[in-house]
Structure 1
Amino acid sequence: MSLNDTPRAMRLHIGLFGRRNSGKSSLVNALTGQHVATVSSVPGTTTDPVYKAMELHGIGPVVFIDTAGFDDIGSLGALRVERTRDAAKETDIALVLFSCMPDERAGVGNEDAFDWLERLQQRSIPVIPVIPVISRIDEGGGADALAEAIETKTGVRPVCVSAVTGAGIEALRTEIARRLPEDYRARSITAEVCASGATVLLVMPQDIQAPKGRLILPQVQTLRELLDRKCLVSCCTTDCLPAMLQSLAKAPDLVITDSQAFRTVHAQLPAGSRLTSFSVLFAAYKGDAPFFAESARKIAALPRDAHILIAEACTHKPLREDIGRVKLPRLLKKKLGEGIAVTVTAGHDFPEDLAPYDLVIHCGACMFNRAYVMSRVAACRRAHVPMTNYGMAIAALLGILDDVVIPGVD
């Protein structure tokens, strides 16, 4: 992916799930009109999930997730199936493939596919559209009987396709477009905190974590959206904030800062200006802002031997003054005492068992899509563990959370 491409986390994630050799990779190639996935008659060709960023006509930027067969066997097969389950957490729309083979016309041999379709349909945070697909209809008859069995059992009419002849491919594209999640196109980073045409000041300290010559992703995405919404945008680093405020004809309607600069920016906030941070905005864009805010307000009441999990989406090499490994633990210990324990995870590492933790603090999750963040929110809710994010946690620890604009809360 080039620097000009839509970031993967902002693309619609379309997951393909099916048994080994059910035609998942062939279907990806047929949908995109390109050879982007390796196809073989050997079962188990696809091992770990393969992510392919593409443009799908009529829909826009998407990521196809080509998963390993959920009928994989052996010790390695079990690990591959576990990776397929993880991929389901990132999926915005799921395609579940049923094989149309001579001995499978009434659903026999497709029991696993029925189980997976039902499991995906039951996911409620966020709700995931699930499309059953009868694949490889060119290789045998019985598609009508299998379609009847699927519709009777699931209440959803499947789409019948052949990656070889192209039959049904356009119908499947149309069905994907029709089943887009309700809020897919409507979600906005800034719409709830400022009107179109508002004056907005971005305070963007460029510390050692920022790639040389570039802004970090949340800054880029927020800036792009504000420009698209015809806002009047000014930018500066934290040390230039006094000069920037002095140069403006009037106070900005909104100031968006890096959360690490909350204390400095809050102290200089002009009367009439509202304050938020990139991390807080992404808490609402990617996750559950009301739950995060409620959880942040519980920090002060945590026990002095609390065990806190800090979850980062990035897997970067920790640098000096790293926010997740150094700055947040320092603030937490200053507030709660040295007796607390802090565990840090990165990337897709996230504990299945959350019972040992009193609080989860997540990063802004610019590298994850909303479906994946919400799967972690759901896990915390099931375990009755509060979950917040970096921006809200820092604001709460500094005592300024009530002065911060939170989308969906204020």
Structure 2
Amino acid sequence: MSNLQETPRSERIHIGLFGKRNSGKSALLNALTRQDIAVVSPVAGTTTDPVYKSMEIHGIGPCVFIDTAGFDDKGELGELRVQQTLRAIEKTDIALMVCTDSDIEQEAKWSERLKAKQIPVIWILNKCDVLENAEKVMYAIEQRTGCSPLLVSARLKQGIEPIRRSIQEKMPDESQQTGIVGQLVKNGDVVMLVMPQDIQAPKGRLILPQVQTIRELLDRKCIVISCTTDKIDETLQTLSAPPKLIITDSQVFKTVYEKKPEASRLTSFSVLFARYKGDIDYFIQGANAIEQLTEASKVLIAEACTHAPLTEDIGREKIPRLLRNRIGPGLQIDIVSGVDFPQDLSKYDLIIHCGACMFNRKYVLNRVAHARQQQVPMTNYGVTIAYLTGILNKIAIYG
């Protein structure tokens, strides 16, 4: 878990290193980060589980490098390692395809798999200090993929700067991104945050979505005032005018809606993250599927965190209780956490995802695409609670 001085991993560009065993991915990672992060060995298959390293790189900014196992790994364990590499793709924003010889058919197929997920690929011809047929390999790559590889010697740390420049060129365009709060606020707006401090937020800590939202509001020069649910009335009385926007924990949506001034717009942290991390239109459409659920239906609840279940956990207790109160006690509900997300979703009538503050947007959108492909409706915690409390059409979402 990131400390308060670091950009959370979920907010960083994820750069994956892919290639066959012993292509020098780990050495390249060390050269890019200028640290001995990954174990380097001439023995093929040294890297087993993906290695994640958060860095601050000049010109790139906060990022995460992912050093993956070789996708040509063999045997029973090798197959498991390849599965981990496949999982790493789901989180990758930019891919570095590392090769060392002219037999690039596997690399080309993996590159096509990456591009199918709209992940830009940078081809790298490593070990150029010892390759005798570098021109032949370059020609093979260009003929097969239409891409010109960057010539690199990770061992000698040569050719590293062009990689950084290529990463910069392929960075996601942030000009279209509107942040967590979108167009809901402007400079000088008063924003009131309602943040229950319960067992889900241990003493001395705020949960990550609250911290990230507060930081963005301050960056936008908003005036931020915070309170717990039992202090809503007193907090509103201290203001000379109603706040422009109220952002609440979804668990107290109904309470805050009933108390909010008519002039104030209302949303929740989870709803904001539904748009910021995922596909808000698909989530709203998915919430409408609740109306079609019966006691014979099956729902999947997916949470990003892997914490031990706590009393009154929103995903494990509160939302299931709300759903069963609405649908009936026989409603079947499965719960998964962390990276455990089923490949086969066909048995589910609805997926309800958490706000995904621990995941990067690429990973969440891949889950959304996975659900779309299997025609399974998907929504998230905040949208679900707003729907079940009858206020989904009354809250602020788009700005």
Gaps of 5+ in 2: none
The counterpart of 2:105, out of the listed 111, 115, 136, is 111
User: For residues 155 and 262 of structure 2, what CA distance do their matches in structure 1 show?
Assistant: 65
Aligned to 1:179: 170
Question: What is the Cα deviation at residue 379 of structure 1?
Answer: 0.5
Deviations along 1:380-408, one digit per CA (max 9) or x if unpaired, are 0000000000000000011110011113x
Aligned to 1:161: 152
Answer whether contact 2:294 2:328 (CA < 8 A) is retained: no
User: For residues 202 and 26 of structure 2, what CA distance do their matches in structure 1 show?
Assistant: 35
User: For residues 330 and 200 of structure 1, what CA distance do their matches in structure 2 show?
Assistant: 31
Aligned to 2:22: 21
Answer whether contact 1:128 1:181 (CA < 8 A) is retained: no
5 Å-filtered alignment, 1:133-172, equals 133-172=124-163
Aligned to 1:279: 270
User: For residues 169 and 235 of structure 1, what CA distance do their matches in structure 2 show?
Assistant: 46
The counterpart of 2:231, out of the listed 207, 232, 240, is 240
Stretch moving more, 157-166 or 63-72:
157-166
- Secondary structure of residue in 2 paired with 1:196: coil
Question: What is the Cα deviation at residue 111 of structure 1?
Answer: 1.8
Q: CA 1:314–1:218 in structure 2 vs 1: closer, same or farther (change >3 Å)?
A: same
Aligned to 2:32: 31
User: For residues 335 and 233 of structure 1, what CA distance do their matches in structure 2 show?
Assistant: 36
**TM-score, normalised via structure 1 length:** 0.95
- Secondary structure of residue in 2 paired with 1:250: coil
Question: What is the Cα deviation at residue 199 of structure 1?
Answer: 1.2
Q: Percent identity?
A: 56
AA of the residue aligned to 2:253? F
- 1:40 has 2:41 as partner: yes
Aligned to 1:67: 68
Answer whether contact 2:295 2:332 (CA < 8 A) is retained: no
Gaps of 5+ in 1: none
User: For residues 138 and 172 of structure 2, what CA distance do their matches in structure 1 show?
Assistant: 24
Aligned to 2:396: 405
Aligned to 1:362: 353
Aligned to 1:352: 343
5 Å-filtered alignment, 1:158-237, equals 158-183=149-174, 186-237=177-228
Aligned to 2:3: 2
Deviations along 1:75-129, one digit per CA (max 9) or x if unpaired, are 0110000000000000010111111xxxx3xx22x22111111110111xxx211
User: For residues 304 and 172 of structure 1, what CA distance do their matches in structure 2 show?
Assistant: 55
Deviations along 1:288-322, one digit per CA (max 9) or x if unpaired, are 01110111122122233210000000000101111
Deviations along 1:307-348, one digit per CA (max 9) or x if unpaired, are 000000000010111111110000001111112100000000
Answer whether contact 2:345 2:376 (CA < 8 A) is retained: yes
Q: CA 1:167–1:281 in structure 2 vs 1: closer, same or farther (change >3 Å)?
A: same
User: For residues 217 and 135 of structure 2, what CA distance do their matches in structure 1 show?
Assistant: 50
- Secondary structure of residue in 1 paired with 2:98: strand
Aligned to 1:306: 297
- Secondary structure of residue in 2 paired with 1:97: strand
User: For residues 165 and 27 of structure 1, what CA distance do their matches in structure 2 show?
Assistant: 10
User: For residues 227 and 297 of structure 1, what CA distance do their matches in structure 2 show?
Assistant: 35
Deviations along 1:214-271, one digit per CA (max 9) or x if unpaired, are 1000000000000001011100011111100111110000000000010110001101
User: For residues 89 and 143 of structure 1, what CA distance do their matches in structure 2 show?
Assistant: 31
User: For residues 244 and 151 of structure 1, what CA distance do their matches in structure 2 show?
Assistant: 64
- Secondary structure of residue in 2 paired with 1:355: coil
User: For residues 27 and 306 of structure 1, what CA distance do their matches in structure 2 show?
Assistant: 49
User: For residues 282 and 186 of structure 2, what CA distance do their matches in structure 1 show?
Assistant: 24
Question: What is the Cα deviation at residue 187 of structure 1?
Answer: 4.6
AA of the residue aligned to 1:177? Q
Q: CA RMSD in A?
A: 1.3
Question: What is the Cα deviation at residue 185 of structure 1?
Answer: 8.3
- Secondary structure of residue in 2 paired with 1:298: helix
- 1:122 has 2:116 as partner: yes
- Secondary structure of residue in 2 paired with 1:360: strand
Stretch moving more, 356-365 or 31-40:
31-40
**TM-score, normalised via structure 2 length:** 0.97
Aligned to 2:83: 82
Question: What is the Cα deviation at residue 9 of structure 1?
Answer: 0.5
The counterpart of 1:376, out of the listed 353, 367, 376, is 367
User: For residues 59 and 329 of structure 2, what CA distance do their matches in structure 1 show?
Assistant: 55
- Secondary structure of residue in 2 paired with 1:378: helix
Answer whether contact 1:129 1:181 (CA < 8 A) is retained: no
- Secondary structure of residue in 2 paired with 1:137: coil
- Secondary structure of residue in 2 paired with 1:138: coil
Runs of 4 or more above 4 Å deviation: none
- Secondary structure of residue in 2 paired with 1:206: coil
Stretch moving more, 301-310 or 201-210:
301-310
- 1:54 has 2:45 as partner: no
